[in-house]
Amino acid sequence: MARIAIVTGGSRGIGAAISRRLQDMGVTVVANYAGNEDKAKAFEGETGIRTYKWDVGDFDACQAAFAQITEEVGPVDILVNNAGITRDATLMRMTYDMWDEVMRVNLGGCFNMAKAVFPGMKDRGWGRIVNIGSVNGQSGQYGQVNYAAAKSGIHGFTKALAAEGARAGITVNAVCPGYIATDMVKAIDEKVLNERIIPLIPVGRLGEPEEIARVVVFLASDDAGFITGSTISANG
């Protein structure tokens, strides 16, 4: 019987690449999305991957979505916490709402979804949780104290939850992408991208979503059963 995965933010960018790659290895994938219904439905039509809309920053919405997916698709074996947003500004210009929204979605979403899937994984003695961090959570980034703090928090969350799941057959790892050619990165001013970001990447280019997806799929597999609490940097 095919394993079942939830990929949050799974219909666009890195999430879409992860969803497709998991499907290619025989996993039944459910892709979450929060906003762009047209793109989500187009993705569903192209791939046959079911899409469900909910806000990962809303604890009750996560519980309700998880219950619906369990009933309609089956028990969830793999969770990829990929959903994330940016609300960039320097601290002097950042409002509390900008801080709170990024923390609520990017870090709170990891807690909310792990809280939903963890008990079932523990009961069945097998589970994979992969959290998507960021190079900016490791090194910091000007104008991103909210995003950097949330992504840095994901790394600590990963290590702590890994310790709780290890004896139950649940691995918890993080993948830390560098700058990847997604809509979010392409929205950066081209001059900034070409003069201040790409020159600092040793391989001299942006990464591709599929390059992150390959790491995630390995961590979600049986082959990665002896890896837990790790953060793998894929940043060029």
Interaxial angle between packed helices 145-165 and 108-124, expressed in degrees from 0 to 180 and rounded to the nearest 10? 10
Query: Rounded to an integer, what distance in angstroms lies between the CA atom of residue 225 and that of residue 172?
Result: 10
| Residue 59 CB partners (closer than 8 Å, separation 6+) | 108, 112, 115
Which residues are the active-site residues? 147
Give the pair of three-digit tokens for residue 177. 């992408």
